[in-house]
Amino acid sequence: MFTEVKRYFEDSKEQFLKLSPDGKYVSYVEEIGEYNFLIIVKITTNKIINKICLSEKKCNILYNWTFKENTILLLSDEFGAENWGLYKLNVVSGDLKKIYSKEGIQVRLVSISRNRPNEVLIGINERIKLFHDIYVLDLSDDTMDILFLNNEFLNCIFDLDFRLKIISRVETDKLAYYSVISESEKVRLIDIPFSKISTNYVVYYDFKKNDIYVKVSDNRDDMCRIICIDCISGRSYPFFEVINKEIKTVFVNNKNGEIEGVETEHILRKWEPLSKWFKIHINNLVLKSKFDMCNIEFYGKTDDEKLWLIKLSSAQKKEIYYIYNTIKGSLIKVNMRESKCDISDEIQTSQMYPIIMTVENSHELICYYTIPQEYNVKKTYPMVVLVHGGPWTRDSWGYNARHQWLSNRNYFVLSVNYRGSAGLGNKILQAGKLEFGKGVQADILYAVNEMKKMFPIDSERVGIMGGSYGGYEALMAISLYPYIYKCAISINGYVDLTRLFEKMPDHMCRYLPFYKEYFGDFLDEKYRLLLEERSPVNNISKLDIDSAIMLINSKEDIRSDYNSARIYYEKLVKKNIYCEKLFFNNEGHSVTIRDNKVRMYQMIEKFLHKHLKGVFFQ
């Protein structure tokens, strides 16, 4: 049974579910018609009590509850240009007020505190684009007072009384963290090399004990640890460690401030309880989910730990949001009747299978695949490879709308965690240095060939697709191996790597030392030539005359250069390479507007049907 494309991709803008600090409400963003609405659900009745129009749907929305009753702060970004303006919303009256918004300026929400419920800390990068000055915003009269001018700090952590406690700054080849004892005295806590800042970072600051907890993937490739550092003395001691797993996040008990659980991941995600209380509730949630395997994510908790807002999901079950009562042990599904988020109750889904492939005794590739829903071992099938972005992210086991949609159309679907992916240990992360468009391609190709050995995949019908960095690798794949990949789809992918660094947004330039670790210094002639050599725009001559490419780009994307994509398209056409284009005028680096998203996947489906002969269901 085939399902319409829109059923997989019509859910609201990533939901953005939040729990109010007082435990009265659950909120989420919903795209209705031409506008974004904030939906308010009263927990005691589980009924929607308000729908507040926030903006036109072309705007991206981020928001947070404050400790001031019924008050939310919103960040709005028109067209995805990453110019975040600040707004205040009363969820009862629906009153929405602009606090600060200027073109080219970013506002960030820095800190909220139960100790100062009528105030919040915000950051504004108007004075220096690289850094955000910190202001105290009074929620009673909306006035702002400068707390301090920031000329150098990448990260700032404050305690519950808004005193600056932890800072980090770039120092040559590392990110250095300091504890602020006084205006003139600082204690050096830890140095994190740029090559490791995607895996080594602060996971928690204990306000009561004045300790920070840092996730560390060090020289032991098979070990991941959390260390605790005393912010007064600078001394550290081990807190938690795992072998052959990565640490994703921690659970902190709001009542006592203790870390009581650590979520780890290798092939699958798992919560490791550190207290009897947390273990009881995690086991209860797994039991109540009725899934053989279950992902549990926390979206909010009350201060007294009585209520948790959680998401439960599995590979064959799209995420469902619940309020969990730790006193009663009860699980109540959040009322989201305005949303289409429960579509997996009504459609046929397929299992996602994990597999580990070892590349020539070098490194492991953790991959995930889904088989066609109407699989018959006597037939051959097309396959689509999905390449994740980043590259410092990873693919994980769980519900994946693209896997389910393509499986429903009788494709094999493969996701590969190539070298340079994060969350898989230090060895594979470091192996990604300068391997863009080369070693990464070797890993993906190896996984493709292994799949062909295991399953009846038609070698003439293999396609590859990705977004952002994944789109870049998809275009490089068909350029380098046109005899392997029949077609490629790039969603806001990078076509010219030199332009990527030349046009990098100001607020991202602070991370240039990190990018240089993996892509080289684009100001150095040697590395600039390497970037040019491995850019899709300079590899068009390697494409086969039968190659097919689909380019999807957004005019307001400040990361993947829109003009470079247009030039690439024109060069493909000039070389008589088949290329379809879909250019959005009202999207940023991600395609978020529901109508655009559905239209995009409908066009992708038609494109894949044309070139790989998979099912096309209108």
What would the 3-class secondary structure string for 283-319 be? HHHHHHHCCCCCEEEEEEECCCCCEEEEEEEECCEEE
Q: For residue 618, is pLDDT > 90?
A: no
Q: In what order do the strands lie in the sheet with 164-171?
A: 153-158, 164-171, 174-180, 186-193
Number of continuous H segments (helices) and E segments (strands) in the chain: 11, 35
Q: What is the mean pLDDT of residues 270-292?
A: 93
User: Tokens 């305690």 label which residue?
Assistant: 159
Q: What is the enclosing helix (H) or strand (E) of 111?
A: strand 107-112
- How many angstroms separate the CA atoms of 387 and 199, rounded? 20
- How many angstroms separate the CA atoms of 58 and 80, rounded? 8
- How many angstroms separate the CA atoms of 519 and 527, rounded? 8
Express each pLDDT in 230-255 by its tens digit: 999 999 999 999 988 899 999 999 99
For each of the domains in the chain, give its residue range(s) and CATH number, in order of start: 350-612 (3.40.50.1820)
User: Tokens 């439960």 label which residue?
Assistant: 312
State the pLDDT at residue 346.
67
Q: What is the mean pLDDT of residues 416-443?
A: 92
Contact 457, 380 (CB under 8 A): yes
Is 273 in a helix, a strand, or coil?
Answer: strand
Q: In this prediction, what percent of the chain has a pLDDT beyond 90?
A: 74
Q: Which residues, 6+ apart, have CB-to-CB distance to 182 below 8 Å?
A: none
Q: For residue 3, is pLDDT > 80?
A: yes
Question: pTM value?
Answer: 0.91
Express each pLDDT in 54-88 by its tens digit: 876 667 889 999 999 999 999 998 666 678 999 99
Per residue in 574-593, is it b (16+ CB within 10 Å) or e — as a string? eeebbbbbbebebbbbbbbb
Q: What is the mean pLDDT of residues 431-441?
A: 95
Q: For residue 444, is pLDDT > 80?
A: yes
Beta bridge partners of 315: none
Is 208 in a helix, a strand, or coil?
Answer: coil
Express each pLDDT in 163-182 by its tens digit: 999 999 999 889 999 999 99
Query: Per-residue DSSP letters for 44-84?
Result: TTTEEEEEEEEEETTEEEEEEE-SSTTEEEEEEEETT----
Q: How confident is the model at residue 341 (pLDDT cuts 50, 70, 90)?
A: very low
Contact 476, 484 (CB under 8 A): no
Total residues found in the chain within this entry: 618
Q: What is the mean pLDDT of residues 472-499?
A: 98
More confident residue, 360 or 396: 396
Q: Which residues, 6+ apart, have CB-to-CB distance to 114 below 8 Å?
A: 21, 67, 160, 303
DSSP 533: H
